[in-house]
């Protein structure tokens, strides 16, 4: 691709033609720090282009740790808060993949396992709404 050529690496496109899932395969020597850095820059440019042209970050496997920090470029703060609230509703004790998927504010993709969700007021509100509706949480 043009992005790969710009950085001096080859990028092959592997994809599912039927549903439009593209899987850019960046070819680099993992023992060469310069090529590793170039591969990261290529990945960032590809993700940025996907968003810019109306695409999404997820494929058939959803969003992974590698792409979680890009969610704030794709979704509004309100949408991310709503997604977090749904997660908290079904995972109030933060036992299921703690620290995964929803980064803490500030585009920090890494969070420590076991850290409670950042929006605890939403947890309490969700529990109150559920209790009023007769739903056990």
Predicted local distance difference test score (pLDDT) of residue 135? 59
pLDDT averaged per 10 residues in sequence order, the chain, 137 residues: 95 85 91 95 93 86 80 89 90 83 49 44 52 57
* pLDDT for the residue 37: 96
- Give the pLDDT score at 111: 39
| Domain residue extents for the chain | 2-52, 75-132
pLDDT at 36: 95
* pLDDT of amino acid 128: 55
Two structure tokens written together for 34 = 């310069």
Task: Classify residue 75 by its DSSP letter.
Answer: S
Q: Among 48, 99, 43, which residue's Cα sits nearest to residue 66?
A: 43
Give the model's pLDDT for residue 68: 82
Residue 26 host element (H or E): strand 21-27
């Amino acid at each position: 691709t043009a992005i790969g050529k710009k950085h001096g690496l080859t990028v092959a496109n592997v994809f599912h033609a039927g549903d439009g899932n593209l899987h850019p395969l960046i070819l680099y020597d993992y023992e060469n720090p310069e090529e590793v850095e170039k591969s990261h820059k290529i990945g960032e440019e590809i993700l940025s282009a996907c968003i810019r042209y109306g695409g999404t970050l997820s494929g058939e496997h959803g969003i992974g740790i590698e792409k979680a920090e890009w969610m704030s470029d794709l979704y509004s703060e309100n949408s991310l808060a709503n997604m977090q609230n749904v997660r908290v509703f079904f995972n109030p004790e933060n036992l299921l993949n703690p620290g995964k998927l929803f980064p803490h504010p500030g585009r920090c993709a890494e969070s420590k396992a076991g850290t409670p969700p950042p929006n605890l007021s939403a947890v309490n509100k969700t529990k109150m709404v559920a209790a009023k509706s007769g739903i056990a949480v």
